[in-house]
Structure 1
Amino acid sequence: MKVQVNTSNDIDNQDALERWASDYLNEQLARFDQDLTSIEVQLSDENHAAKGGGVDKRCTLEARVNGRAPVAVTNYAPNQDLAIRGATDKLMHALDHTFGKLDRREHRVRDTIRRDPEVIEQLVPPQS
């Protein structure tokens, strides 16, 4: 899944941050890989880097869902790491909720071993 990181001017180490965020989000959201096309990350420092303290780092994650409206969440934290991790947790919860509703109503098309004839043969012995 494609991860795009956008930051305000106050955020440092953008290249390293992009690599880390991409790896982290792909790992954490791997179970939704079939359903998501991309994740957009917006990081900003709400009171600018010169001022210190407080819960001033904001991370907004927007997941682009196949055939559906995007799902977006925002998290505030004292540093970038906690902001991204908190937003990722919120996004996973929102996606669980969204896809849980779809599973109950529309039965999404997903890869499953339940329909694979080879797996069925291994699990169910032939009857004589």
Structure 2
Amino acid sequence: MKIQSNTAKTVNGDKKSQSFFISRIVEELNLYQSYITRIEVHLSDENGKKEGENDLRCLLEARLKDRQPLAVSSQADTIELAVSGAIDMLKTALETTIGRMQNHHSQPSQNL
């Protein structure tokens, strides 16, 4: 599972922060790694340099094998909370998508 990180100019994107978020994503999504080819992380500040509530955004896009990509987004007051929220949303989306894939493959075909 490859992880690509993109950070807007107005967001602190130093190596230490990126390392922390990437390790957190790998840890939280490890269960799904056999289904995921790549995850793209986009961190941005919706208000630029202006102050505001819930203006930090994390968009996670999971590229799945033989499937359309899944994308989720979370906004919060801190990047940490935005990343955490996006991870939780992506886990839910992956559980639903993978569950459907498994149900589809495990149902016996009916010959009419």
Query: What TM-score results when the alignment is normalised by the length of structure 1?
Result: 0.79
What 5-or-longer segments of structure 1 have no aligned partner? Answer: 108-128
Aligned counterparts of 1:90 and 1:24: Cα–Cα separation in 2: 14
Counterpart contact for 2:5–2:18, Cα < 8 Å: yes
Q: How does 1:63-102 map to 2 (within 5 A)?
A: 63-102=62-101
Per-residue deviation, residues 59-106 of structure 1 (Å, max 9, x unmatched)? 100001011111100111011000000000000000000001011102
**Which SS does the other structure have where 1:29 is aligned?**
helix
Corresponding residue number in structure 1 for 2:27: 27
Q: CA deviation at 1:53?
A: 3.1
Do residues 39 (structure 1) and 39 (structure 2) align?
Answer: yes
Query: What TM-score results when the alignment is normalised by the length of structure 2?
Result: 0.90
In structure 2, do the counterparts of structure 1 residues 11 and 38 end up closer, same or farther at CA, with 3 Å as the change threshold?
same
Q: CA deviation at 1:48?
A: 1.3
Aligned counterparts of 1:2 and 1:96: Cα–Cα separation in 2: 19
Corresponding residue number in structure 2 for 1:7: 7
Aligned length: 106
Bigger RCO (CA 8 Å, 6+ sep): 2
Aligned counterparts of 1:13 and 1:31: Cα–Cα separation in 2: 27
**Identity, % of aligned positions:** 38
What 5-or-longer segments of structure 2 have no aligned partner? Answer: 107-112
Q: Bigger radius of gyration, 1 or 2?
A: 1
Aligned counterparts of 2:73 and 2:52: Cα–Cα separation in 1: 19
